[in-house]
Amino acid sequence: MRISNIKIIEDSVKSVSCTGDKDSGSHPQIFLKLNEEGSIECYYCGKIFIHKSKFKKNNV
C-alpha cells in the first residue's frame, strides 16, 4: 500500500468527503462514514482515510 494514498484524520471525525487527487485522478464528490475500526476506503480512487490513533498503533 502506498503511504501517499493514506489520509490521516483526527479521531473525532466520523465522516469524510473525497474527490480524488492529482495522483489517483478526480471523481465526483462522495461522502464516506468511517467504520467501527476508524477507517474507510474510497471506492472510486482507493484512498484510505484512517484515524490518527489507529494509524500510529499499526505503524509502531
Q: How far apart are CA 5 and CA 23, in angstroms?
A: 9
**Domain segments of the chain as ranges:** 3-58
Q: What is the pLDDT of residue 1?
A: 47
46: closest CA among 24, 19, 28?
24
CATH superfamily ID and name for 3-58? q5lls5 like domains (2.60.260.40)
Q: How far apart are CA 49 and CA 51, in angstroms?
A: 7
Q: What is the pLDDT of residue 57?
A: 67
Positive or negative, the CA dihedral 1, 45, 20, 13 is negative
* DSSP for residue 37: T
pLDDT tens per residue, range 3-50: 568 999 999 999 999 999 887 789 999 999 999 999 999 999 999 999
Residue given cell 500500500 in the structure block: 1
**Confidence (pTM):** 0.83
